[in-house]
Structure 1
Amino acid sequence: MAESTSVDEFIVGQSAATKELRRLVDILAPADSTVLIQGQTGSGKDVVARAIHALSGRKGPLISINCAAIPTELLESELFGHEKGAFTGAETDRKGRFELADEGTLFLDEIGDMNLSLQTKLLRAIENRTIQRVGGSKDIEVNFRLICATHQNLQAHVDEGKFRADLFFRINVFPVQVPSLAERSVDIPDLIDTICASISESQNSKPPLFDETALSELSRYNWPGNVRELRNVLERAIVLFPQKEITSKEVRENLLRLKVPDENEELEALWEETGNLNSIDLDGLISDKPPLPVPSSYQDWFSYFDTIDLRKHLQEVEIVLIEAALRKKEGQITGAAEALKLRRTTLIEKMKKLMIERPNAN
């Protein structure tokens, strides 16, 4: 008898956001409804898709395709297949990803990059559960479950005419939001254990040991590349520090900023560390919510990055806070201005300058 599959095998962590994601996957996986997974690049949307398929009970395979990675002129053939002679080089009939996903799941990653003409053909396939190969006229029935993913705002694309509204409503049956790694930083120790074990097994190598200062340093980092970036950092750690202890110093100097460690430097650092055995306070690490940023949070910025677009960054912070205040006050500008400690006229001027729309007041 085959072992049962658990969502915990795919989605690791104990943060509130991760627990909610696991609960949602458990609920929607057995259904055949279309799922739209949204989240930042590298946040693990493909992992969520694999979890949904594994728990779905569908007999066929999970067939994946990245719509952004394949040129537009080739994507149609990749999805729908082609008949012999359909175009130069089509020497035989070829099944596309839809047919390969029969009785299984088709995962369309980065669907926001699909052009409008192909969106039309995709909509027909979803509605009729039939496809036609490129160069063919025969309808081929396909039993598939569709999962789509994107890091883009598809609703904004619809408003701009870049994405079909009817297709958006078709694929947005079960929307799933994958949290960024910064939103689930409490999961980082669990993710490190899981990812290091996976990499070490595949490479037949021994993982390093991250001490408490290293875990704290990794939890403070903002992870613009999310879990994908964390995996890259851990691959570096396994190569540079096999079976060695890693402290916050190695994290800053050798992992987040790639620099091959010098053996003499390592020995000197080890000698210095033995003289400082103060315990590390991890209260900030064991938290269910990411800490609110304070000005001092930026003092280590140039330990990780070489530059910052200060004007753009501050403007983005302003937009986020103003929109949040307006939502909190149900669109009331006076209330939002008080929450932000601004004059009403100042807030109105900022809204015009930053092109922030006032939400409908209840």
Structure 2
Amino acid sequence: MSIPASVNTNMSVLIVDDEPGMRSFLIKAMSKKFAVVESASTIAEAEALRVQGHFDVMIVDIRLPDRSGIEWHEALDDTERQSDIIFMTGYADMDVAIKALRAGATDFIMKPFHLEQMMTAVERCIEKRLLKRENFMLKRELSHGQSSTIIGSSNAITEVKQVIERVAPANAVVLIEGESGTGKELVARQLHQLSGRTGPFVPVNCGAIAPELLASELFGHVAGSFTGAKTSREGLFNFASGGTIFLDEIGEMPMNMQTALLRVLEQRAIRPVGSEKEVSIDVRVVAATNRLLVDEVEQGNFRRDLYYRLNVLNILIPPLRARPEDVVELTYHFTLQISQELGIKPVLWSHEDLEVLKQHEWPGNIRELKNMIERCILLGKPPAEYWKKTTTTNLSDNYGYPMSWTLKEVEKQHVTQVVTAHDGNKSAAARDLGVSRKTLDRKYKEWFGQDVDDNSEVAE
């Protein structure tokens, strides 16, 4: 059995043995598979290394000069930094083996041993850790249900694809800017897929997580660090090890978390909530926002130093109204996708339907187009029935928005219609619109001059 190459940059090994020959033998073998391999000759030396960083696997001799490996309680009982421990000994004592396994060892190997035997034991530890992370990420991927294909052949979107190909191989931070619904997560996924990084893609909506829980979600926590933290838990930065973490709605991040994130970007290490120890990470950060962060900085809502740290590489996604030639291609894509999900034959749209779709301003961008196609398919009504042209070339006031309206007027009308459709439930409306509840509250305050609670009416 051979350890996958993807393990190289994601996992670390500590070898603890007082025999120089054994340490040299294992270091040489492990260094071919892992980027981080450390060694120590005593428990004291090993503990000093362990508290400085995290080791996924520790190979420990039982008989050591200062104390027995089985008595290394700091490592065996550490629920914050759990490591898989493989004990080894040159003394054939079954009672010792049983005691080691009861103490929390993952495996027990007798000396002398073949290298393949040790590598197999290490592989079992690694596979168990990777499986845990993969299962976690698979559940997140299924819940997101995201495609990874960027649809469109317009000059605007072609330029975006070219920028992605240029910056993907770099490990530098990328900031993606664009209106809600333009496909910022798809761009982030493309960056990850073309980066060559072997770890997972981990999307996080910073605006959808309660501020008081965001640190725990991102960095993890130790048992007892806050009410309800009965056990230690790894954060999303841990699960993104070797891969990419996508911080969507970065503009919604509270100021205290902005400070913590800046430190992570500068130190390349995270500190779990309730812990005094930092854990090194190998994660590429991609952030996205539908706000103008420059304006947020000037207004004091976003840290200037964090903005410059995030804006190393910038990708601006054009709104759908700036590339109407992509509407038809996107319509065909969503029609096929939704029809397959519903188990029905794909609908054939008329030329009139496609022309109506191309002329719409799409304030909700691609997300709004997809929702529109889905409604048309489910209700059996083609787009032309929703937006009928008048002799003045304006769209019907009953079904759409006059062409003379400004974008802000269209946005206000569309958002308030969605809120009304949800009987005033702004939380549900925010989910449909693809924005955070905080963003919706800010819009209402801007438009109506006061905060509006769920299920309340607004006089226009």
TM range (shorter): 0.5 to 0.7
Q: Tell me which of 84, 89, 104 is aligned to 2:228.
A: 89
Say if 2:369 is the partner of 1:224.
no
Q: Which residue of 2 aligns with 1:326?
A: none
Partners in 2 of 1:239 and 1:81 — Cα distance?
42
Query: Which one-letter code corresponds to 1:304 in the other structure?
Result: Y
Deviation of the 1:9 alpha carbon: 6.4
Residue type at the aligned position of 1:76 = A
- Aligned counterpart in structure 1 of residue 324 of structure 2, from 165, 180, 185: 185
The one-letter code matched in structure 1 to 2:185 is D
RMSD value, Cα:
2.5
Asked if structure 1 preserves the Cα contact closer than 8 Å seen for 2:386 and 2:400, the reply is no
Q: 1:236-290, CA deviations, whole angstroms, 9 ceiling, x for partnerless residues? A: 122223xxxx75533427xxxxxxxxxxxxxxxxxxxxxxxxxxxxxxxxxxxxx
Match of 1:72 among 207, 211, 235: 211
Q: 1:83, 1:135 within 8 Å by CA — same for their partners in 2? A: yes
Question: Which residue number in structure 1 is paired with residue 397 of structure 2?
Answer: 302
Matches of 1:309 and 1:141 in 2, distance apart?
A: 55
Deviations 1:39-77 (A, max 9, x none): 001111111111111111110000011011111111111
Q: How does 1:148-187 map to 2 (within 5 A)?
A: 148-187=287-326
Q: 1:160 and 1:247, CA in 2 relative to 1: closer, same or farther beyond 3 A?
A: closer
The separation in 2 between residues aligned to 1:303 and 1:11, in whole angstroms, is 33
Where in structure 2 are the equivalents of 1:339-358 lying within 5 Å?
A: none
Residue 311 (structure 1) shift: 9.2
Aligned equivalents of 1:176, 1:102: Cα separation in 2: 24
Match of 1:249 in 2: 384
Distance in 2 between the 1:70 and 1:79 partners? 10
Deviation at 1:198, TM superposition (A): 2.0
1:37 and 1:45 in contact (8 A); partners too: yes
Q: Is the 8 A contact 1:182 1:223 kept in 2?
A: yes
1:121 aligns to 2:267 (yes or no): no
Aligned with 2:189: secondary structure? helix
Query: What do residues 148-176 of structure 1 show as CA deviations (whole Å, max 9, x unaligned)?
Result: 00000101111111111110001101111
- Measure, in 2, the Cα distance between the counterparts of 1:17 and 1:305: 26
TM-score (normalised: structure 1): 0.68
Cα pair distance change 1:188/1:307, threshold 3 Å = closer
Contact 2:164/2:191, CA 8 A, preserved across alignment: yes
- For residues 194 and 10 of structure 1, the distance between their equivalents in structure 2, rounded to whole angstroms, comes to 10
Letter in 2 for 1:190: E
Which residue of structure 2 aligns with residue 13 of structure 1? 152
Q: Tell me the residue number matched to 1:35.
A: 174
Tell me the percent identity: 41
Aligned positions, number: 262
Unaligned runs of 5+ in 1: 1-7, 254-295, 317-362
Q: Quote how far apart the aligned CAs of 1:30 are.
A: 1.2
Shift of residue 136, structure 1, vs aligned partner = 0.7
Instruction: Indicate how the Cα distance of structure 1 residues 311 and 58 shifts in structure 2: closer, same or farther if over 3 A, else same.
Output: closer
Deviation at 1:307, TM superposition (A): 9.1
- Show structure 2 runs of 5+ residues with no match: 1-146, 412-460
What is the deviation of 1:143?
0.3
Paired position in structure 2 for 1:235? 374
| Cα distance change, pair 179–310 in 1 and its aligned pair in 2 (3 A) | closer
Distance 1:51 1:188 in 2: 21
Contact 2:182 2:318 survives alignment (8 Å): yes
User: Retained in 2: the 8 A contact 1:129–1:142?
Assistant: yes
Letter in 2 for 1:143: D
Aligned residue for 1:17, secondary structure, equals helix
SS of 1:56's partner is coil
Q: Assess if the C-alpha contact under 8 Å between 1:101 and 1:144 holds in 2.
A: yes
Helix, strand or coil at the partner of 1:302: coil
Mapped to 1, the partners of 2:159 and 2:236 lie a distance apart of 31
* Aligned partner letter, 1:151: N
What TM-score, normalized to structure 2? Answer: 0.54
Distance 1:140 1:107, change over 3 A: same
Larger displacement relative to structure 2 (157-166 or 198-207): 198-207
Shift of 1:205: 2.5
Structure with the greater alpha carbon radius of gyration: 2
Is the 8 Å Cα contact of residues 220 and 236 (structure 2) preserved in structure 1? Answer: yes
- Structure with the greater relative contact order (CA < 8 A, sep ≥ 6): 1 or 2? 1
Query: Is 1:203 matched up with 2:342?
Result: yes
Given candidates 18, 40, 50, the residue that maps to 2:189 is 50
**CA deviation string 1:322-341 (max 9, x = no partner):** xxxxxxxxxxxxxxxxxxxx
Question: Are the aligned partners of 2:255 and 2:303 in contact in 1 as well (CA < 8 Å)?
Answer: yes
Q: 2:58 maps to which residue?
A: none
The 1-side partners of 2:238 and 2:366 are apart by 31
User: CA–CA distance in 2 between the matches of 1:189 and 1:132?
Assistant: 48
Residues in 2 aligned to 1:80 and 1:313: alpha-carbon distance in whole angstroms: 38
- Partners of 1:80 and 1:133 within 8 A in 2: yes
**Deviation (angstroms), 1:200:** 2.4
Deviations 1:167-189 (A, max 9, x none): 00011011111111101110011
Q: 1:156 to 1:230 in 2, by over 3 A?
A: same
